[in-house]
Amino acid sequence: MDQVYKVAPQLLKFLSYLLGWLPWIGKPVAGFLSNPPAWFLLAVAIAIPILFVVSVFPGIFAYTTLVERKALGRIQNRIGPNRVGRWGLLQPIADGVKLLTKEDIVPRSADKFVHFLAPVIAVIPSVLLFSVVPVGAGLVPVDLNIGILFAFAISTASVLALFMGGWASRNKFSLLGAMRAVAQVVSYEVPMVLAAVAVVMAAGSLSTLAIAKAQGGGILNVTHWFVFRPWGFVGFILFTIGAMAESARTPFDIPEAESEIIAGYHTEYSGFKFALFQLGEYLASIAMAGITVTMFLGGYNGPGSGPGILGGLISMFWFFAKLGGMIVLTIWIRGTWPRVRVDQLMSFAWKVLLPMSIVNIVAVGMWHYIAIRPIAWVVTTLWLVLWFITLSKLAASENIEKREYRYAS
């Protein structure tokens, strides 16, 4: 916001130049804009990031749904949507119009107020998440010094909306889905936060902007990304798994497992309320992808990124390229992996991810205190690999009894 505050006067001057040609109101408006009072400048500086977040990310959401449908189609050797516009480019608009014109059904025995409130609350945390995601060098809507903490606190709040929706619908499938959602999000929150702790320790700050800045430098602004550290690599995988579980993406989409419980918590939602749930879920997914990029994939850092207008634009390009890469990865995973079982989900979170994230924190400590880098590389890698093997053996060593079929042959 500080940067926006600096740029705002120039922007307003440009705007006044444009509007000066208008008859009657042109002159006074241009005069006001070229010499704005402080409060107006502040309002503009606040409005610009909000407009950015509210316009750009839902747009990304809309086209993510299209890309997802096209990519899943191609993975399954289908064509995917191609009826509305070239390559189906107008499909998101058609979907929106369709959902807006659909009947809004509220079950008779539902808690109507909570039923109405749930989809609204589902969107709010997802939008708020973007307030701490730096989209370019210094370009973050709010540079909170506890940005990461804020992100986790807010993202967990979305589970409230899921449970409200499931509970207020008064439908057994909705409630089952909501219970699963709560269990899942609460379980995966723990390893995810612990994976983030490793990054916070390495960067020495909870601010997302500071974490992104800490990954700059090196060869082409690339080699210092945390993902290219042993602990960072492990943390990246842990955090990605956690983020996917948190936003109920496919291998972990048991809250809305359509083959088991219809649509889970949004079974009883139709029309635009359903769209809002979908919007909230996708926005959360995109925001978590953004935070993953910021924490592990170097954020906005990339070849050519840096301060200044050109560097800023290049840094934005890198951020959105990486964000797109993460989105494509989640879509690819969705098109490939089957859904995990509820018990597998829980045992995976508590028996593998949680110990592994704690081991990872220890690895960061080693990395910090072993001053000679090659030795640090060897030691942390060995430590992590050995623990990974041990944990996976332990997790798999639940002796699976060979089933004996006594009556069937």
Partner 1 sequence: MGFIGKGLFEGMVVTARNFVGSYFDKERLVTVQYPEERVQVPENSRTFPFLVFDKDSDPVASMRCVACKICEVECPPQCIYIVMDRDEKGKPQQRPKVFDIDISVCMQCQICVEVCPFDAIKMDNNYEKSQYGRFDELVEHLPELLKSNEFYNKIKPTEATAVDAKLKADAEKKAKKAAPAAKPAATAAKPAAPAAPKPAPVAAPTAKIAIPDDAPFTPEQRQWLSGYLSTVAASGVAPAAAAPVAGTPAAPATEAPAGNWPWHDPGLGMQRRLDLAKETPIADKLMAAMAQTDCHACGYDCRGYADAIATGAETDLSLCLPGEAETANMLKKLMQEAGKL
Binding residues for partner 1, rule: CB under 8 A, are 71, 74-79, 332-333, 335-337, 392, 396
Give the nearest distance from C-beta 83 to partner 1 in angstroms: 9
* Residue closer to partner 1, measured from CB, 161 or 327: 327
Q: Of 14 and 337, which CB lies nearer to partner 1 in the complex structure?
A: 337
**Smallest separation, CB 3 to partner 1 (Å):** 39
Return the number of the residue (11 or 333) whose C-beta is nearest partner 1: 333
Pairwise CA distance, residues 386 & 365, whole Å: 17
Shortest Cβ 32–partner 1 spacing (Å): 54
At its nearest, how many Å lie between partner 1 and the CB of residue 356?
12
Between 80 and 280, name the residue whose CB sits nearer to partner 1: 80
Task: Using the minimum distance from each CB to partner 1, give the nearer residue, 338 or 374.
Answer: 338
Is 315 or 330 the residue whose CB approaches partner 1 more closely?
330
For 22, counting Cβ atoms within 10 Å of its Cβ (0-12 exposed, 13-18 middle, 19+ buried), the class is exposed
Residue with Cβ nearer partner 1 (235 or 302): 235
For residue 1, give every residue at least 6 positions away whose Cβ sits within 8 Å of its Cβ, in sequence order, or none. 45, 46, 49, 140, 141, 142, 143
Distance CA 311, CA 309 (A): 6
Residue with tokens 């030795």: 375
Query: Shortest gap between Cβ of 58 and partner 1 (angstroms)?
Result: 26
Q: How far is CA 50 from the centre of its chain?
A: 18
% helix, strand, coil for the chain, step of 5: 75, 0, 25
Q: How far apart are CA 74 and CA 72, in angstroms?
A: 5
Q: Give the residue from 245, 103, 115 showing the smallest Cα distance to 171.
A: 115
Residue among 17 and 337 whose Cβ is closer to partner 1: 337
- Residue 225 backbone class (left: φ over 0; alpha: ψ -120 to 50; beta: rest): beta
Instruction: Report, in Å, the least distance between residue 73 CB and partner 1.
Output: 8
Report in angstroms how near the CB of residue 334 gets to partner 1 at its nearest: 10
**Closest approach of Cβ 251 to partner 1, in Å?**
9
User: Which secondary structure element, helix H or strand E, spans residue 53, and what is its range?
Assistant: helix 38-75
Q: Judging by beta carbons within 10 Å of its beta carbon (0-12, 13-18, 19+), is residue 36 exposed, middle or buried?
A: middle
For 404, residues 6+ apart whose C-beta sits below 8 A from its C-beta are: none
CB of 72 to partner 1, least distance (A): 9
Task: Rank residues 393 and 406 by Cβ distance to partner 1 and give the closer one.
Answer: 393
Q: Closest by alpha carbon to 239, among 292, 171, 315, 311?
A: 292
Contacts of 232 (CB under 8 A, 6+ apart): 198, 199, 202, 225, 226, 296
